[in-house]
Structure 1
Amino acid sequence: MVTDTLGLLLAVEVTPANTGDRDGAVGLLPLLRRLHRDITLLWADGAYTGRIVQWAREELDLTLDIVKGASQRTGFTVPPRRWVAERTFAWLMNSRHLARDYETLPENSEAVIRWSMVTRMSRRLARPPAAGRH
């Protein structure tokens, strides 16, 4: 799953549980590139280190900026933007259908994730603006 800086879904690909993050990214990043040509920088966690960074730069013209984990920092610092994807996962878990894995096909799981995000965004667009916001 790839989100923007607000945590809104940009691309999703469901893979089997035995597929690692880097292997899944090989299918997801070209999809992101086709859907959103203007995106050039992605923040990723330490699971995406290694050859995938160079591959993304050379093949897709994408820069993968690896956010350092807590063990690689000194003192208390908030990791930049790492919480965005986690917040999106929390939003998705509010969808009752996604709280359990009911789907048998990856395509169906992807559709349910997209539908959950459509529901979330339509609610956000439909609510009245908060006081003091324009």
Structure 2
Amino acid sequence: DLTGLARVKEGRNPEPTASVIDTQSVKTSTNVPLTSQGTDAAKKIVGRKRGILTDTLGLILAVIVTAASLSENAVGIHLINQAKKTYPSISKSWVDTGFKNAMVEHGASLGVDVEVVHRKSDAPGFHVVKRRWVVERSLGWIMLRRRLARDYETLPTSSEAMIHIASIDNLAKRITDETTPTWRGTY
């Protein structure tokens, strides 16, 4: 398991005990069927919603891609079910305020303490939110892949596969301490 290797390299137990969950709505290309798209009313985006569950290092443990109209609770419940099957050791999870009581209650039924992390309402602009920055960084990493900047895939499962491929690249870099060769700085 590459995730276990990366965790051990960072001095962690190979089995994660905590996770962070978030979603991201992305626009779709013209070849995506309308049946697999939706409108995220909160973000005013027509497209798909990506949900990821990461460990505390930002390693992706579970992925789902759905129509953007699906609620964060529904996405979160699917993610925590998927992660709990693969990593039964997970007992804590942090989510943002988009996730409501249904997610907290479902997590409790699985033995996972789901904590909703609130933003500091008095602080204007960007600031680091407890534990949530890890999953935001992971979403940023996958957005670096040109193919994931927008959802081009006909099937949501193909989009999930592309996210897994980006995650494998990240894991390989962490395990081997190698970076992808770049043309920048060479003339």
TM bracket (short chain): 0.7 to 0.9
Task: Give 1:75 deviation, angstroms.
Answer: 5.9
Answering whether residue 174 of structure 2 is matched by residue 124 of structure 1, we say yes
Aligned to 2:64: 13
Aligned to 2:90: 39
1:2 aligns to what SS in structure 2? strand
Aligned residue identity for 1:61 = G
* Aligned residues: CA RMSD: 1.7
Q: Which runs of 4+ in 1 moved over 6 A?
A: none
Name which of structure 1's ranges 78-87 and 110-119 shifts more when overlaid on structure 2.
78-87
Aligned residues: 125
Answering whether residue 128 of structure 2 is matched by residue 85 of structure 1, we say no
Flag structure 2 segments of 5+ consecutive residues without an equivalent. Answer: 1-51, 179-187
Aligned to 1:26: 77
Given the two structures, how large is their TM-score scaled by the length of structure 2?
Answer: 0.62
Relative to its length, the structure with more strand (as a share) is 2
Relative to its length, the structure with more helix (as a share) is 1
1:46 aligns to what SS in structure 2? coil
CA displacement, residues 95-131 of structure 1 (integer Å, 9 cap, x when unaligned): 1211121101111011000000101111222226xxx
* Inter-partner Cα distance in structure 2 for 1:28 and 1:75: 30
* Inter-partner Cα distance in structure 2 for 1:105 and 1:15: 10
Given the two structures, how large is their TM-score scaled by the length of structure 1?
Answer: 0.85
Q: Percent same amino acid among aligned pairs?
A: 35
* Inter-partner Cα distance in structure 2 for 1:123 and 1:52: 33
